[in-house]
Amino acid sequence: MALYVLDSTILRLCHAQADLRIDGEQRKVDVCLTRSVYKTYGHGYGPTQGIFQSAATLSRQIPTPSTTHIEMPEPIIFYDIPSQGTALKAWSPNTWKTRYTLNIKGIPYKTVWVDYPDIEPLMRKIGALPTDTKANGAPHYTLPAIYDPNTKTALAESALIAHYLDKTYPDTPRLIPAGTAALHAAFTQAFFTVLVKALLPITIPATADHLPPRSEAYFRATREVIFGGPLQELAPPGPKREKHWAEVKKAFATFAQWLQADGVDKPFFLGDKIGYADVTVASFTVWIRIVLGEDSKEWADLKTWDGGRWVTYMDAFKKYEYVDAGEAVVL
């Protein structure tokens, strides 16, 4: 077993319970948004409150392949959260990180679509480790996750999945090159610090509107506890929304500055090749495009930022936006 230690900042946001009805049964659902920054608050999202309260080390056991090259006679099973009413069924920025990773690497996979209430029972069933701990000490399970039938490995959390795929399938493009794990961890923390607080009030309500009924009920009930009120009040049209959007624009300008940090305007954070830092930025950008809509005022505005840089940037990812039909989860 190879031990991967990923330094991360833990976001201690809100611990509460929400009452909601799931499949006709009234349940209390723990709202736990203590997450590694790798996970953007797990399979859901909550406000940062501008607070990074403590630092911790996230350790995971990832199986080491028995040889330096693993053949792939069977596709990897990729667990994602479906939307409805959008051109692309995939929407989550966290699961897009894994989808982009698989597509860039050209690794065959099959999507299994999982509604929010089914995530925990499914993860327990396949043996994926929890990605965090709830306020009451219980394990917390999130997506994305994969099951690799070629190595009998179940694994959750997008950065850990990228590490696993880099190591297990070395003949594919490596997204976290040797010696850059710490830099990618630092990038992820900085990225969320700069962007997320401004973005979530705009994208969270739009996300709820795109979810199937079971997921929408779960999402609204838990997120309204976290945000302290109806989602539609987070960033309604008008000055409040415009202020949030101006901060999002400022965040993207910061990312553009990072790309020019050495005096050369690089296309990607690793230079001429896409790396996991780029996957992170693209995953949040595609989330904006999908849930707000390509014909939205915000998306039209974003395309003009930084001299049109982000249009060019996302054009490089178009060929990696494949979404298979997949199948619904069976528990």
Other Cβ atoms less than 10 A from the Cβ of 210: the count is 20
pLDDT digits (tens, 9 = 90+) for 7-37: 232 233 334 455 555 455 555 544 444 333 3
d(CA 192, CA 97): 14
Short-list 70, 159, 60, CA closest to 107: 70
- In the chain, which ranges are E strands? 2-22, 25-36, 54-62, 76-80, 109-113, 132-133, 139-140, 145-148, 153-156, 327-328
Q: If you average pLDDT over residues 223-250, what whole number do you get?
A: 94
Residue whose tokens read 């006709």: 24
Cα 172 to Cα 169: distance, rounded to the nearest angstrom: 6
Of the candidates 4, 279, 11, the one whose C-alpha atom is nearest the C-alpha of residue 132 is 11
So what's the pLDDT on residue 135?
75
Q: Could you tell me if residue 174 is inside a domain?
A: no
Q: Is 0.85 topped by the overall pTM?
A: no
Q: What is the pLDDT of residue 73?
A: 78
Asked if the structure places residue 139 within a domain, the reply is no
Maximum distance among all Cα pairs of the chain, rounded to whole angstroms: 59
Provide the domain limits for residue 315: 181-320
Establish if 261 belongs to a structural domain. yes
Coil, helix or strand at residue 35: strand
How confident is the model over 84-123, as pLDDT tens digits? Answer: 976 679 999 999 999 999 999 999 999 999 999 999 999 9
Residue 262 lies in a domain: yes
Q: Which residues of 230-247 are buried (b: 16+ CB within 10 A; e: fewer)?
A: ebeebbeeeeeeeebbeb
Those residues whose C-beta lies under 8 Å from the C-beta of residue 237, and which sit 6 or more positions away, are none
- The verdict on residue 251 lying in a domain is yes
List pLDDT tens digits, range 44-55. 333 322 222 222
User: Does any domain span residue 173?
Assistant: no
* 133 in Cβ contact with 139 (< 8 Å): yes
* For residues 240-259, average pLDDT: 97
Residue 62 banded pLDDT, cuts 50, 70, 90:
low
The predicted model gives 177-199 an average pLDDT of 95
CATH of the domain at 300: 1.20.1050.10
Mean of the per-residue pLDDT values of the chain: 83
List Cα–Cα distances, 143 to 115, 116, 156, 199, 291, in angstroms. 10, 9, 6, 20, 18
What pLDDT band is residue 72 in, cutting at 50, 70 and 90? low
Side chain identity, residue 156: A
Closest CA to 98 of 119, 71, 78: 78
Q: Are 160 and 60 in contact (CB under 8 A)?
A: yes
Residue 198 in this model has a pLDDT that exceeds 60:
yes
- Cis check for the bond before 144: say yes or no (omega within 30 of 0): yes
The stretch 76-83 carries a mean pLDDT of: 97
pLDDT band at 205 (very low <50, low <70, confident <90, very high): very high
For 2-28, b/e burial (b = at least 16 CB within 10 A) is eeeebebbbbebbeeebebebeeeeee
Identify whether 125 is part of a domain: no
Task: Output the DSSP codes for 101-169.
Answer: HHHHHT--EEEEE--GGGHHHHHHHHTPPPSEE-TTS-EE--S-EEEETTTTEEEESHHHHHHHHHHH-
Reported as half-sphere exposure (CB side, CA atoms, 13 A), residue 312 has a value of: 11
pLDDT exceeds 80 at position 255: yes
The answer to whether residue 96 is domain-embedded is no
Name the amino acid, one letter, at 70: I
State how many domains the chain has: 1
